[in-house]
Every structure is written in structure tokens, then in C-alpha cells.
A and B are shown apart, each in its own frame.
Chain A
Amino acid sequence: MTTLADSVAWIGGHSVHVPDGPVALLLDRLGDYMYAVSAVLWVLVTAALLWAVFRRRAEGEDPNDPARERRMQRTVTLAVAASAAILFVFLFLSYDTSRAMTGRPAGEPLQIRVTGHQWWWEVEYRDSLPQHWATTANEIHVPVGRPVVFDFRSSDVNHSFWVPQLGGKRDLIPGQETSLWFRADTAGVYRGQCAEFCGYQHAKMAFEVIAEPPPRFAEWLVQQRDTAATPTDSLAQRGQLVFVTSPCVMCHSISGTTAGSRIGPDLTHIASRRTIAAGTLLNTQGNLFAWITDPQGLKPGTRMPATQLGPKDLAAVVAYLETLR
């Protein structure tokens, strides 16, 4: 079976230490200050402790000498004052970073709505013209250099949206509306993952952010707004028929067909996506076969049940899905 490793590597291995864009950069810099200061303080206090334990003691030294007690009082007071001062510096840095992060992004932001589901992400690009709306899943395309504002909902339990290299995380809480913004400055694929425990398959609730130069992004969006391609070859045609007459339609939608349920991910342009099953498997023919036959084996507990399709129907459906670019 093909795995994600066979495909492009994610930029920077989704580490917060390889930040991209203004938000993640600010956060990384704040982290660096705090690590450095903490490391120095840790070394100082540990050294003081070791010195206190191992210093040479004079013969007959009195552990309760009052003169020394006064000196210690001064030293301890000084140390406490210094700690408080350092904490104030941290506090200032923290507030300063917060302010810089939460300010409205410069430039006309792109608005994306993300809805959390157990265990996948629904992604909607809305527009003033409803026919320009586009819906996809588990893959978020963004234009390089333009701020993106997300507004989050959850359809079931709490989730948390997190792309370490692009910015912090935000919870998706039923009954609440939350939001977050970031900007990607380098083209490439970034990995994101659900961070709030959301049940059975929390571990396999990932997604990808694909940052593209604005013209490519615009092209992609136009293509995503289209209704699904009508299949031309006979196998795919049969696949479409099987699809719309099988239990698949109970959960999925493919625009331009009678499949219109929104319980599972929208499949209108499934073939254009890099992964399936929320960033779990690479979107290849073999993986599609495997997934449709045995989703519970690949992602135990997923809300998608195994489908009872015969081998011929299965092949047809896969062929059809592969035409949905």
C-alpha cells in the first residue's frame, strides 16, 4: 500500500520551530526568548543549589549565626525581586505578542469556514454569490502572502484547529463561534491536526494546508466551484450509477448529481485532493479501493461503514471517483 511517505514532504515537518508567516514567526520568537532566559535561570539556580550543598565549611561553623542570617535575608530578597522583574519582562513580551497577533490582518483577507466533524474537516469557501460557494474537505488551499481568516464551527464535539508552522490553535466548540487568522508566505504543503481530544479517532483527524501563488489559487478555486465532471468512459458512467443508487448517497454529496447529503465529506472534486480519510492515506487508486472496502480496518471507529459492493461495482465506483477532478 502506498503511504504518505511516498509523496512530497511537508514543509519543515510541521514543527513550530520552522515558522512561516507573521503569526507563527511572532510565536516562535516569543518562545525563543523564554527558552533562553529560562535555561540561564535554571543553570543559575542549580549552580546555587550545588554550591550551597558542597561549599567547604569552616571548622565549628554555626549553622544559626545571626550575622549570616541577615546577609541571607538580603540575598534572598534580592533574588525574589530579580525573579519578579524577569516575570514582568515576560509579561510585557507576552502582551506585546498578543497585541501584534490579534490585530486585524493587513490586506483584504480571504474568509474560510471550517467545521469540525468526528473525525474530519469540512472546508467552505463562501462568496457573496451563492453559486460561487465551494466546499471541500481536509484540504485547505490558501494564496501565498494573503491573510486568511477562519471562522470555526463544530457539528458535534470540541475539536481544535492547529497548523503548527502557520500559527496557533483555536478550539471548535459546538454552540460557539471562534476564529483565527494566519498568513502563509512560502508556497508548499503544511500539515495540520486536531489538537483537542474528540473521541475515538482523534489521532487520525489531520488535514493539509496547501499554499499556492495567488494565480494558481484562483484557478483552483474556480475549478472547485464547478459541478462535478460528467463521466465519459463507460466504466466511470457505471460507477456514477452505482454511486447514486448505493448507500454512498446517504452521507456524501457530489454536486450535479442526486447525491446531496452532508454527513460525510463532499466528494465533488475528490480526485483533486492529495489525501483521503482526513490526512491519513494518500489519495491513490489502491487506497481508494482499500478504504471503500474496509474503512473500519484503516481507521477503526470512523463514521463510514464498510460498503457491500461487488468487485465490479467497486472498480466502477473507484474509476468514477478518479474522474472527479
Chain B
Amino acid sequence: MTPAVGVDPGEHAALERVWRDRTGLWGWLTSTEHKSIGKRYIITAFVFFLLGGLNAGLMRAQLARPENGLIGPDRYNQLFTVHGTTMMFLFAVPIMTAMGLYFVPLMVGARNVAFPRLNAYGYWVYLIGGTFLYVQLLLNTGPDTGWFSYVPLAGPGFSPGKRVDTWAQTVTFTEIAALVGAVELIVTIFKNRAPGMSLNRMPLFVWAMLVMAFMILFAMPWVASATLFLAMDRLIGTHLFNPAEGGDALLWQHLFWFFGHPEVYIIFVPALGMVSEIVSTFTRRPVFGYPAMVLSLITTGFLSFSLWVHHMFVTGIPELGSSFFTAASFMIAIPTGIQIFCWIATIWAGRPRLTVPFLFILGFVVTFMIGGFSGVMIASVPYDQQAHDTYFIVAHLHYVLLGGGVFPLFGAFYFWYPKITGRLLSERLGRWHFALWFIGVNLTFFPMHLLGLRGMPRRVYTYLPETGWGPLNLLATIGAVIVVLSVVLFLVNVALSRWKGSEAGENPWDAPTLEWGTTSPPPSYNFAYVPVVEGRSALWDRSPDHPVVTGLRTDMREVLVTTLLDAEPDHRHRHPQSTVWPLLTALSTGVLFITLVYTPWGLVIGIVPLTISFIGWGWPTERDHQEQLREEAAA
């Protein structure tokens, strides 16, 4: 390690030559760079957010009046199923993973994610899965049994046709993408941190991503088994869920929710990390109670696996069993409470700047709290007897997902957008966006609490005028219109910024984490010299002559691998080249999964291209060989 020196332009050019993608379409298709993949991941997930929002808008239009004839039951059932599936599997989890894949390497001072080809593969698989779902919806064969597709309704007896298979297969695609993302994040965080960034100096966002990744690792296998069993029941005639043949319909619910509950925390935990980064930056001090924050994240991750039965309180589960889950569900409120209190303390001590990202964080706290409180209510077995499966739940779940997930996410967009594009978003438009969004979300979802308590069940395509649910539903629909306006403003803001946004510079917010220590947008190799971290707030704690890592090769892709706990430099690692094989492998995976929807022979048909592409992926190139020889000669 040597002290910092001005970056030598020759070295710059060398790094650029080695790390940048090829140009043009081919370069785009073969890219394995985490920023390039991350960016398209974020954009794709956001497009799915818009599509999911479109579904929701249509549902709200239908429900605006009693006995409305706009959308019939068949379409409506597809809409809410595709809406829920999109928002959970194609928007929320992927966008959180994507933010991690873009920012974690930058925040830990790495050149790329640990397994760049796998990363590209994950993105392509996700894109194919999402596209498949929407093609089916447009063909009027979208799934129609809800985002948790309970059997027997989703079984072969009551859902003939290919709709449910489409759903199950979309979920399989996203499971793979999520697992791939999780592995990337864990290994990058554990092995590629800049020297000096010991675990106890890791930014809270990175901690949150680490916890999320482990949760994905432990949660996804359950939904994978569930959808596999369902596919077997549907395609090859097993009876795992068929009570008439000794199967068990309730088994599905246990399997699904053992995944499904952690799933919502998989969305929420990264958002908590975003909040911490934004709060710290805009109060210009570290978040109060770092150890408590980290422990809260980890505790949340653990506890989230002990709550699943609270989705099943009215299935007749024995009282004693249910009470345990009430207690566990109450308990998970505590780590979240700790974090909220710590943020308030941070703000109180610091000097808050009311920028747009910070406004979204304030909006997050007050909105999310409502979802938190209603969550505690429905965690109570008796209370849930009334609230379960009504619009009260629809209100609750949107308060936590929008309040706890999308508010911080918009904050994060405003916060990090300048890093990604080099240009700032307009603060003025941003304030309008925030105000409309805040009003719209609350106007849409608050009345739903009341609707639920007045007896309106969820997932109904219409209701009778005599029920008296008309006015509150109209209010909710008006709220949804305001939400749409606010999102349009956001898109306008992005477009205007691309066109004439002001230059951001390296660190427009004076933020403390490493990603702000390189240019905006960062170069293909992220950092000319891998930084050495001297404190928890990497940039704020940096000494004037801060040391950097030198000696990594510039004539080939080489990265530094560090130790797990203390991030001591361990060894250098040759980093793979960009290649088209991840894309081809993803396409073969797509062929396999999609043909499987139509025939069990899909397995046989699909395995051939998949095997070929795996071989291609692993095939050593001449260049690899030459480099190997050179390395041996050097040694």
C-alpha cells in the first residue's frame, strides 16, 4: 500500500481498455459489468412497477362505482393476480437486488461483483420471466388465482388451462434471478471489500443488502418446492395438494408463507438500509447507534422466518400454535422501532437538510408507521378474525410495501440518480412529486382500512350498491389518479434531467460512503486505485493523505480479494471477461421453462441447448490459456 498519488493518465487509459465493455449492441448483449447490468435491472424493474401500476389503475377504475361494467370477473381476476405477482416478484424484490448490484461494489470499493457472468445471467433470466408473464396477460391467458395461488383453486381440478402454469413458471424465473443476485451480493460483500472496511465499518446499506441476500437464500427454496409440487400436480398427475387422494391443501399455505413472509422483509430490509444512508448524509453525521442498527437488521431477518402462520389465522390452526405466532409477530415490531428511534435521534442531533431524498424519508416514517400499527393489530389472532382477507389487509399491505419500500426507494432514486447519470434531478419537480405521492398514497389506501372494517372482502371485481362501499371506493380511486400524476412527474423529472439536468460532480450531497469518491457516473473499473478505508464514514473519516491500494495489474482484469472479517488484503484474483454465454444460457433456460408449461417433454427439449450453453460458458478461451502461461512465467 502506498499513499495516494494523482492518477496517472496512462494508467487510466490502460484500466479503461481492460475493463470497458465492447461497444455497440454486441457490447450491450455481452456486458458483465455490474453497473451496466444494474442499470438495466433497475430500469426493467421500474418498467414492471409502471405495468403493475397500470393493472392497479384499471382495478381502481372498475371499483370506483358499485356494479361497474368496465371490467368483468375474468379480466379482473387476471389483473389483481398479475398486479400482485408483478409488484412482488418483478418489481419489489428485483429492484432492491438491482440497487444492491449497482451500489454494493461501489460502496465496498470493488471493481465489479464477484461473479460477473452469473450476474448477467440473473438479469436475462429475470427479463425473460417477466416478459413471459405479460405476453400471457396480453393474450388473455394471464394467471387468475391471486399472487399466492392457493390450491385447490390453483390445482388441476379448478384451474385447467395454462394460466396457473404461467404463474408458477414466472415465479421460478424470478427465484433463480433472486438467488443469483443473493449469491453475488454475499460473496462480493464478504470477499471484495476494500482494505480497512472491516465488518464493523460496513455502511448500513451494505449490511442491509447482506441480510437481504441471506434471507433470499433461505426463503426461495420453499417457494421453489411449492411451485415445483404445484407443477407436478398439474403436469404429471401427482396429488400432493389433493385432499381427495390423501394430499393436503393446507400444505401449500405453509410452504408458500414460509417463503412469503420473509419475502416482504426481503423488500423492507434493503429499504431500511437506504433510509440509513440518506438520513446520515442529510444530517451530516453517522447514524446514531450503529451496533443497534446492525443487530436490528439481523434480528429482523431471523424473526421474519417465524411469522408465517399469521397469514393463516382463520384456517382453524389450533389456538396454542397461533398464539406463538402472535407473540413472534409482535416481537418483530421491536427491531423496527429501534431503527425508527435511532433515525429520529440522528436527525435531532444532526443538521437536517430538507432535500427531496430526505422528504421521502420523512414521508416513509409517518406512512410506514401506519402500516406497522395495522400490522400489530392483524398479528393478534382474534383481531385478524375480522380483518383477514378484507380491504383492511389491502390497506395494510400497501402501507408497508409502499410506505416501507417505495417511499425509501424514491428517496434513493433522487439520492443516487446523480451518481448513476452524472446529473441531478430537479428539486422543485421532486417536491411536487413527493407532495402528490404522499397525498395520493394516503388517499388511496387509508379509506381501504374503513372499507375492510365495513365488510368489503378483498379480490372482488364488483360490489352491490346496497353495501354502501361506493363513496370510499371512489375516494380511493381519486387517490390512485393522484398517485399516477405523481409518478408521471417523476418520469418528466428524469427526462428533463437527462436533457438538461445540472452536473452533479463527484459528491453533490457531501455523502460519506465510497461510491461518492469516484466520478459520476463511475468509470468502468469504478476506482482508479482501490481505496483504503479508515473509518465507518469512509469519505468523512478520510485522512488528507489517505492510502490507496496499488499494484493491481492494469493489463488484465484483476481484483483484490480481502478477508471476511477485517478486510485484510488476501490475494489477487483474475476477473473473467465479458461474454455472450450468460445471455445464451438464459435463453436456453427460458426455452426449457416455457416449453415445460406446455408439455413435460419440455425437460427433454430444453436440456439440450442448456447443456450446450453451460459448456460454452465454461469453455476455456485461448486468451485464458495465454494469460495462464504468462502468469506461470511470471511466478
Contact = CB atoms under 8 A, between A and B. Distances in A.
B354 A53 contact: yes
Interface in A30-79: 30-31, 34-35, 38, 41-42, 45-46, 48-49, 51-53, 55, 57, 61, 63-65, 68-69, 72-73, 75-76, 79
Interface in B446-477: 453-455, 457-468
B248 A167 contact: no
Contacts of B247: 175
B224 interface: no
B425 interface: no
Interface stretch (A190-198, A216-224, A230-238, A251-259): A190-198
B55 to A, nearest CB: 16
A178 B323 CA distance: 18
A94 to B, nearest CB: 4
Given A53-B354, A69-B288, A176-B316, A300 B73 contact: yes
Contacts of B340: 45
B455 A191 contact: yes
A68 B340 CA distance: 18
A138 interface: no
A169 B389 CA distance: 9
B390 A195 contact: yes
Contacts of A61: 351
Contacts of B72: 300
B348 A176 contact: no
Contacts of A197: 145-146, 150, 153, 389, 458-459
Given A13-B468, A69-B288, A193 B457 contact: yes
Nearest to A168: B385
B333 A169 contact: no
B545 interface: no
Given A42-B373, A174-B152, A193-B457, A63 B350 contact: yes
B160 interface: no
Contact of A160 (B319, B322, B389, B454): B389
B4 interface: no
Interface string B365-377: 1100110011011
B382 A26 contact: yes
B347 interface: yes
Contacts of B337: 79-80, 83
B463 to A, nearest CB: 7
B146 A203 contact: no
A84 interface: yes
- Could you say which interface size class chain B belongs to? 35 or more
B442 to A, nearest CB: 13
Nearest to B67: A3
Given A27-B385, A38-B376, A68-B349, A173 B315 contact: yes
A178 B348 CA distance: 52
A316 to B, nearest CB: 30
Interface in B491-520: none
A169 B385 contact: yes
B288 A200 contact: no
A301 B77 CA distance: 12
A156 B326 contact: no
Contact of A72 (B348, B366, B381): B348
B243 interface: yes
Interface string B311-349: 000111001001100110011011001101110110111
A65 B351 CA distance: 13
Interface in A91-105: 91, 93-95, 97-98, 101-102
A162 interface: yes
A176 to B, nearest CB: 6
Contacts of A196: 150, 389
A164 B457 CA distance: 10
Contact of A42 (B286, B369, B461, B465): B369
A96 B127 CA distance: 50
B334 A80 contact: yes
Nearest to B248: A175
A173 B249 contact: yes
B209 to A, nearest CB: 25
B388 interface: yes
A203 B462 contact: yes
Interface stretch (A14-22, A127-135, A241-249, A264-272): A14-22
B58 interface: no
Contacts of B467: 13-14, 191
Nearest to B373: A38
Interface in B378-394: 380-386, 388-390
Given A73-B289, A95-B323, A200 B382 contact: no
Contacts of B564: none
Nearest to A175: B243
A230 B298 CA distance: 73
- Most chain-A Cβ atoms within 10 A of its Cβ — which of B73, B326, B334, B354? B73
B380 A203 contact: no
Given A4-B466, A162-B457, A174 B348 contact: no
A127 B519 CA distance: 82
- Most chain-B Cβ atoms within 10 A of its Cβ — which of A4, A13, A42, A196? A196
A61 to B, nearest CB: 8
A317 to B, nearest CB: 26
A191 to B, nearest CB: 7
B352 interface: yes
Contacts of A286: none
Contacts of A170: 314, 316, 385
Contact of B338 (A10, A65, A76, A194): A76
Nearest to B153: A157
21 contacts: A14-B454, A34-B376, A34-B380, A42-B373, A48-B344, A53-B347, A63-B351, A72-B288, A76-B289, A76-B341, A98-B322, A162-B455, A168-B382, A169-B389, A170-B385, A171-B314, A175-B243, A175-B249, A178-B315, A179-B316, A300-B74
The 4 closest A-B pairs by CB, nearest first: A168-B385, A175-B243, A178-B316, A203-B460
Given A53-B362, A170-B314, A193-B455, 20 more contacts: A27-B382, A34-B376, A49-B347, A63-B349, A64-B285, A73-B289, A79-B337, A80-B338, A84-B334, A94-B326, A95-B323, A97-B380, A98-B381, A101-B385, A158-B153, A158-B249, A175-B249, A176-B250, A193-B457, A202-B460
